[in-house]
Amino acid sequence: ERARLHRTAARGARGRSDDADLDRLVAALGITRADVVGHQWVDNGPGWAAVRLRSAEQVRALKPDWSRAPDAKVGVIGWHEDGGEHLYETRAFVPGLGVGEDPVTGSLNAGIAQWLAGEGEVPHRWSVTQGGCIGRAGGAVADGC
């Protein structure tokens, strides 16, 4: 049985990541600027650089090289194209704290939910999958953004 966690997220600071930071993250993630659909600093307590890719497949295929951005705190999101229960795939990386990849990250998913809701891109209630790349079946639900 899957455990459920309900968390209320405070409204936080948002804004586009600056170009130098984005270039560093893109290099570390092993992608190009052309792969980036959107990017945003999301912060509802712990701040995250959020990078949006075109698809969940692209997110799952990432093989980051953190020697290029050892202090990164980045979340990556991409659209699930299968039309299933979950809209997005997310991955969270904090190499500077010894967290190669976090299986489920409430602060990141809450920040991304506020970002995408603010742009009118998601329904009132939606969910993400997270953790599959490290053998965990995690996820989060955004409700009422």
Q: Is 35 exposed, middle or buried (0-12, 13-18, 19+ CB in 10 A)?
A: middle
Per-residue model confidence (pLDDT) at position 14 = 53
Of 137 and 77, the one with more pLDDT: 77
Residue 6 scores a pLDDT above 80: no
Residue 77 scores a pLDDT above 80: yes
Residue 133 scores a pLDDT above 90: yes
Per-residue model confidence (pLDDT) at position 56 = 96
Residue 41 scores a pLDDT above 60: yes
Cα separation, 23 vs 8, whole angstroms: 32
Residue carrying structure tokens 């299933």:
84
CATH, range 13-143: 3.10.310.10
Given a contact cutoff of 8 angstroms between Cβ atoms, the answer to whether 88 and 52 are in contact is no
Range in 11-15, 65-69, 135-139 with the lowest mean pLDDT: 11-15
Task: Give the β-pairing of 74-79 and 47-53.
Answer: parallel
Q: How confident is the model at residue 5 (pLDDT cuts 50, 70, 90)?
A: very low
Q: What is the DSSP-derived secondary structure letter of residue 10?
A: P
* Average of per-residue pLDDT across 53-64: 97
Close Cβ partners of 110 (under 8 Å, ≥ 6 residues apart): 7, 9, 44, 140, 142
94-130 pLDDT per residue, tens: 998 988 899 999 999 999 999 999 988 888 888 999 9
Residue 2 scores a pLDDT above 70: no
Domain ranges of the chain: 13-143
Is the pTM of the predicted complex or chain greater than 0.75? yes
Q: Give the E-state strand segments of the chain in sequence order.
A: 13-15, 36-43, 47-53, 74-79, 88-94, 99-102, 125-130, 138-143
